[in-house]
Amino acid sequence: MLTNQENLMLENATSFDELKDVALSVLKRMEGPIFQVCGPMTTGGLGSLELNLEVFRKTIDTLKSQGKHVFDQLPFEDHMMRIKESGKSNLLEAFYLPIFESGMIKKLYFIYGWWNSRGSLWEHAEAKRLGIPRRYLPFNFHIEPS
């Protein structure tokens, strides 16, 4: 998904704006329609970043196994946390808003419990404002049937 140069750019990034530029570069290479997963990461969900990231990963993998083209924001997560500590800007407005406004994301999939997350509530409101279709995934969507 990420080129070597993009990985280096992430490592050296000091702002969400720089991360956004890498994300837009990735999106431009992707086949469409492109979807994105939204849900609890740092607030809400299962109560911890690690568990929420696991649900995100499994949800993305499940959607990809269904043939959907999903923009995976998880490779950006460690860099987001590093930059967030600097307090320079708002992650949602500096990273996610330009991605949504680019028109490249054609649908957002919301993980069950999204309404307990401040970030997901913001993403939902912005998607509604921008006319991006939303789909609400059922409880335990990410768990493969046995």
DSSP summary character for residue 8: H
Helix (H) or strand (E) holding 38: strand 34-38
Domains, the chain, ordered by start = 4-136 (3.40.50)
Distance CA 113, CA 84 (A): 24
* The model's pTM: 0.92
Q: Is the dihedral of CA 110, 115, 116, 122 positive or negative?
A: positive
pLDDT digits (tens, 9 = 90+) for 20-50: 999 999 999 999 899 999 999 887 888 888 8
pLDDT digits (tens, 9 = 90+) for 102-120: 999 999 999 999 999 999 9
Distance CA 89, CA 83 (A): 9
Strand partners, 105: 34
